[in-house]
């Protein structure tokens, strides 16, 4: 079955594997999900979907060109089970690591785009994620392009020890250079964005959008509950909570996302002058 969907995906250029709704557990065919802007056709909740699908969905057809697709993680600390986790993640997602980067057009507006893969070791950031996103910003700087980033992450990848923590600094420095040259960085926070990614490039956008109901925070809810010693409000660390506290610019539904992004990219087009 997996072989068949893989083959179909190859032939059509689209990911044909079915999606499973995290809320109601319904299996939804890829085609139906695509048509429905990745809302569950059974319960209406937002489906979690991977970086490559995300880009296919948001980018104009046949405009995506990948940057540095062949980077793979190494188990350089011989960390318990890391090699096996990588192998499993590669098998279930078909990706080499937790982010897909490249250039694309959104309703005709060129940009550098990256989107994270929540099912690849919880889209944790290790050397490969850090390197690929850094390269994406460097490419964007060189070509004076805006960067559009879809974040989703469980945080830094502890299996790469201190090297993973340093990726936060590495990417931030690249964001800074891109920004200093007057380029736009637009982030879309998707469910779930936490830990070291929240504490670095997710929160460094000039404009920060979020999907409805997305979990976004620094510390995990359970840790916060233990520290605070009380029950937290239901919407704690959800995008609505962040909007209310002043940390995101706008919450945008999936049906409006493409036009909103396209408009913002157009407004920041550096070639247009009166």
Partner 1 sequence: MTAYEKLRIARTTGRPTGRAYIDSLFTEQVFLHGDRRYGEDGAILGGIGYLERLPVTFLAIEKGQDLQDRLARNFGCPKPEGYRKALRLMKQAEKFGRPVLCFVDTLGAFCGADAEERGQGLAIAENLLEMAGLTVPILTTVIGEGGSGGALALGVADRVYMLENAVYSVISPEGCASILWKDSAKVEQAADCLHITAEDMLRFGVAEAVFPETFDRFPQMCEQIKNRYLQDLSELLSKPIGQMLEERYQRFRKIGIFTENGEA
d(CA 146, CA 112): 6
d(CA 269, CA 264): 9
Query: Burial letters for 11-42: b for 16+ Cβ neighbours within 10 Å, e otherwise?
Result: eeeebbbebebeeeeeebebeebbeeebbbee
- Cβ atoms of 61 and 108 closer than 8 Å: no
- Tell me the two tokens of residue 245: 């506290």
- Cβ atoms of 140 and 132 closer than 8 Å: no
- Closer by beta carbon to partner 1, 37 or else 138: 138
Among 55, 188, 203, 251, binds partner 1 (CB under 8 A): 203
- Tell me the two tokens of residue 12: 């059509």
Q: Which of 23, 179, 159 is nearest to 98 (CA)?
A: 159
- Closer by beta carbon to partner 1, 9 or else 68: 68
Residue 273 binds which entry of Zn ion, partner 1, none, CB below 5-8 Å type-dependent = none
Give SS3 for 116: strand
d(CA 139, CA 209): 23
User: What Rg value do the Cα atoms of the chain yield, rounded?
Assistant: 18
Among 173, 181, 263, 267, binds partner 1 (CB under 8 A): 173
| Residue 18 Cβ vs partner 1, minimum distance, rounded to whole Å | 30
d(CA 224, CA 160): 25
- Beta-carbon contacts of 56 under 8 Å, excluding residues fewer than 6 positions away, are 14, 15, 64
- Beta-carbon contacts of 115 under 8 Å, excluding residues fewer than 6 positions away, are 50, 51, 52, 54, 55, 99, 100, 149, 150
Does residue 190 belong to the site contacting partner 1 (CB under 8 A)?
Answer: no
Residue 134 binds which entry of Zn ion, partner 1, none, CB below 5-8 Å type-dependent = partner 1
Residue 21 binds which entry of Zn ion, partner 1, none, CB below 5-8 Å type-dependent = Zn ion
Residue 23 binds which entry of Zn ion, partner 1, none, CB below 5-8 Å type-dependent = Zn ion
Which residues lie near Zn ion (CB under 5 A)?
Answer: 21, 23-24, 40, 42-43, 45
Residue 40 binds which entry of Zn ion, partner 1, none, CB below 5-8 Å type-dependent = Zn ion
Residue 43 binds which entry of Zn ion, partner 1, none, CB below 5-8 Å type-dependent = Zn ion
Among 93, 190, 200, 239, binds partner 1 (CB under 8 A): 200
Does residue 133 belong to the site contacting partner 1 (CB under 8 A)?
Answer: no
Does residue 182 belong to the site contacting partner 1 (CB under 8 A)?
Answer: no
Among 27, 70, 182, 234, binds partner 1 (CB under 8 A): 70
- Closer by beta carbon to partner 1, 59 or else 248: 248
| Residue 14 Cβ vs partner 1, minimum distance, rounded to whole Å | 25
Residues forming the site for partner 1 (CB under 8 A): 68, 70-74, 76-77, 79-81, 126-128, 130-131, 134, 156-158, 160-170, 172-177, 179-180, 195-196, 198-204, 216-219, 223-224, 227-228, 230, 232, 236-237, 245-247
């Amino acid at each position: 079955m997996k072989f068949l969907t893989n083959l179909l995906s190859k032939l059509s250029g689209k990911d044909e594997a079915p999606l499973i709704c995290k809320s109601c557990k319904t299996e939804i065919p890829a085609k139906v999900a695509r048509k429905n802007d990745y809302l569950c056709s059974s319960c209406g909740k937002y489906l979690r979907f991977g970086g490559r699908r995300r880009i296919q969905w948001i980018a104009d057809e046949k405009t995506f060109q990948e940057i540095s697709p062949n980077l793979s993680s190494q188990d350089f600390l011989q960390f318990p089970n890391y090699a096996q986790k990588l192998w499993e993640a590669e098998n279930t997602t078909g990706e080499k690591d937790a982010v897909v980067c490249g250039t694309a057009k959104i309703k005709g507006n060129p940009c550098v785009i990256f989107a994270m893969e929540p099912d690849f070791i919880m889209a944790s950031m290790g050397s490969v994620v850090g390197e690929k996103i850094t390269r994406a910003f460097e490419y964007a700087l060189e070509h004076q392009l805006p960067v559009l980033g879809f974040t989703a992450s469980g945080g830094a990848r502890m299996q790469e020890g201190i090297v993973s923590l340093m990726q936060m600094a590495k990417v931030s420095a690249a964001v800074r250079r891109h920004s200093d040259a007057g380029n736009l960085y637009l982030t879309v926070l998707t469910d779930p964005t936490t830990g070291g990614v929240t504490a670095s490039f997710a929160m460094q956008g000039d404009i920060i959008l979020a999907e409805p109901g997305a979990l976004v925070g620094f510390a995990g809810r359970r840790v916060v509950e233990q520290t605070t010693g009380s029950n937290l409000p239901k919407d704690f660390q959800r995008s609505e909570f962040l909007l209310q506290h002043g940390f995101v610019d706008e919450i945008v539904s999936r049906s409006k996302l493409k036009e909103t992004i396209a408009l913002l990219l157009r407004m920041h087009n550096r070639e247009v002058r009166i």
